[in-house]
Structures are given as C-alpha cells and as structure tokens.
Structure 1
Amino acid sequence: MRGWIVTGATLIGVLCGCYTDNSGSSSFTPGEVIATSGVPSVSASPPPQQNAVIGATIRATTEVTTIDASGNPSFAPGTAAYTVANLQPIAQTNSYTEVTGTLYSVDVTVQTISGVVTVHPWSFALRTSDGTNLTPDLNAVSNGLPATDLPQGQKVSGPIAVDVPPGKSITEIVLTDGYGGRQLGRWTVA
C-alpha cells in the first residue's frame, strides 16, 4: 500500500511545469523575463529568457501539488512574476542568528498571474563566485518573505538573508521549484 506523510492539512510540492491552453500551444515560457524594473507586470513580454540582472522581473510557472483527505494528489499550475532587487549587506538584528561572515539581504516580490503559487524563502539561493548555494536563514531578518500559497492576483514581498562566508561574494540569485529543485530563473549581480 502506498502512503503519504502529510504535515499539516496539505502537502505542497513545487514542480516545474508548463501550462497549455486548449489549443495545445504554450501560454508562457518558464523563466521568461517580463519586466526590467518596477513592480511585476502581467503585460506582454519580451523574448523568453531565463537569466536577468538583479532588479528585473522573471515570470515562471510551477505546479502546486495538494493531497486531499483520502491521500489523492492533485496538480495545478501557477504562474507568477518574481522580482529580486536591492542586494546589500545588513546588520545582524537578533542574537539567535549565528553569523560567521557578512549577512546579506535581497528584497523579493512575488505576484501571482494565474493559479496558485507556493512562495517560500527556500525557493531562492544566493550563489557565490565558486558556485556555492547559500540557503536563506529564516530568522535573519524581520518581516522576511513569508511562506504561503499565493492566489491569482495577490502579491507578497519581503527580504531574504544569507550569511556569506568570509572571502566570498554573491554573484547571482537563483529561483528553484523548491528547496534544491530545478532552476526556474537566475538574476546576476552586476
């Protein structure tokens, strides 16, 4: 017998996906850049790109997996505009975050375009020049990016922060379809 371990009411899995309309044509491209500044936009987009510079907005689609009370999974695609901006060193604001290098934060804004999108700080990694992915510390900043399911038309913002080891620098911020999952977008630090 196949079983599911569910923590809370719903198990959320985020998978890379592509939504097609009834004609079978793709209505977006994962990692598509849709704006280069300002608030995420749902207007027409330039040619698809998975890479952008920090401050730009990338449109990406994920699939939210939910498990009903009977243990049956259902899958629903969701598309959102993700903006990453303002990478900067910050001062430590609490005594329970152990910082061994320099604490850096970056502001993240997510606006759902269609469906429902699962937002979580661990969907992001700040990558150093040697390729090391640094996972955000959930306690390092006040009013950080929340972990939530975001319905169509809603927007959420907040900083995420990482402890950058001495002698290392951040070269890019990566968006994945879950902790350690497939890459959906990448912002390079100019």
Structure 2
Amino acid sequence: MSGTETKTGIAAVTEAAKAARGLPPVHLWNPAHCGDIDIVIRADGVWMHEGSPIGRAELVRLFSTVLRLDPDGYHLVTPAEKLKITVEDLPFRAVAMTREGEDLVFTTDVGDEVRAGEDHPITVETDPVSGEPAPRVHVRRGLEARIARTVFYDLVELAEERDGRLAVSSGGVWFPLGPVGAGLA
C-alpha cells in the first residue's frame, strides 16, 4: 500500500491510535458512520475480533484509546471513520487500586489510571433480585470501568460507616458502597 492510499477498518483505527500517542481527541472527531465492525468487548473484559480473542495487549490498548460512547452505542473512531462495536457490560475493568494520600487510584485492564473524585465518581448499583453489587468508576468521556470483585473487597475494607451506609472517600468526595449489613463487610 502506498503512502497516499487511505486505510480503512482496523488498519485505520490502529493507524490513528498509533499516531495519537496517548489519548486522541475522539470527542472532536465527527466522521461518517461506516457501519459495524465485528469487535466485542465481553463482560469479562476480553476483546474479541471475529470470534477470537485479540491476543496482543498493545493492540487492545490502541483500540481503547479511540473508543467513544455515543447515544447509539460504542464506536471506534478515527478522523475518517466511525465503526460501531459491541460492549456486553462496560468497556474496561478496574483491576487494581492504590491509596495515594487521601485519593484512591484505579488502574484499568488497558492501562488507564483514574483518580476517583468529582470527575471520576465511583458508583455502585445493586441487582434488585440477587442483591449483588455492581461497582464502577468513570474513566473518561462517559466510558466506565467495572470494578473487579477483589478490588471492590479492598474498597469495602477501607470503607467507613456514614448514615447507615458504607462509604469511601477520594478526591474530597464520599462514595457510598452500600448499606451496612448488606453483606459488603
């Protein structure tokens, strides 16, 4: 392929992410919708392409940097193309957490670091049938990470009781985890 030909599909997404080095301004790009691409982010966080896991962590990281949530769903976006993908739960997993001073810092499965606070809230929804907590943390521009069970247990260990609920503080904000006695401790 010569340097003047336009790349499409996965090649274009990869090219745009490599060129951006970091987080490209996908929120500023408004390309035409080009259709769907057979990429699925499974509920367990595994990225699949055409039914097979994407085995290269570097490629998953590149794709994650051009991921955007629009009103009609998740898309991989380049300056020239917008391709819809499937996300079964949330696009990222918060797989580690550290305490830095008074802040909680989460690391995602694609290498993002997120300092919980006003711009990156922790929320916990509870399944009405099973009572199972479903914690998440905001990563960037509407994209969220499911907090891994082991990381959630670490949060519960740090929690304090406030008004009958367990809560953690980060970035000067208190985040409720669930009612005291709800099996969280």
TM-score by length of 2: 0.25
Specify which structure has the higher proportion of helix.
Answer: 2
TM-score by length of 1: 0.25
